[in-house]
């Protein structure tokens, strides 16, 4: 009788630990996605054309 109870307790601990690891890995993966900053869009097309226009006026 005690053997079944100890076996059930050990199985509960193992399943709980595995679930804990799964949730921890999921939360770490989710943090990495949210932490990634958006890339800098760089100069707009209008800015580039204005620079070209200004360079042409200098000549």
pLDDT band at 57, cuts 50/70/90? very high
The pair of three-digit structure tokens given for residue 23, joined into one six-digit string: 């949730």
User: What pTM, to 2 d.p., does this model score?
Assistant: 0.53
Of 41, 57, 39, whose CA–CA distance to 49 is shortest? 57
Q: Taking the CA atoms of the chain, what radius of gyration do you get in angstroms? A: 30
Distance between CA 21 and CA 27 in Å, rounded?
A: 10
Backbone φ, ψ for residue 44 (5° rounding): -80, 170
Q: Tokens in use for 36?
A: 């990634």
pLDDT in tens, 7-47: 999 999 999 999 999 999 999 888 777 666 777 788 899 99
């Amino acid at each position: 009788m005690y053997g079944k109870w100890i076996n059930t307790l050990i199985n509960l601990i193992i399943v709980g630990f595995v679930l804990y690891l799964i949730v921890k890995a999921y939360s770490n993966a989710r943090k990495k996605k949210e932490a990634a900053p958006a890339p800098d869009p760089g100069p707009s097309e209008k800015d580039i054309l204005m620079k070209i226009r200004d360079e042409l006026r200098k000549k």
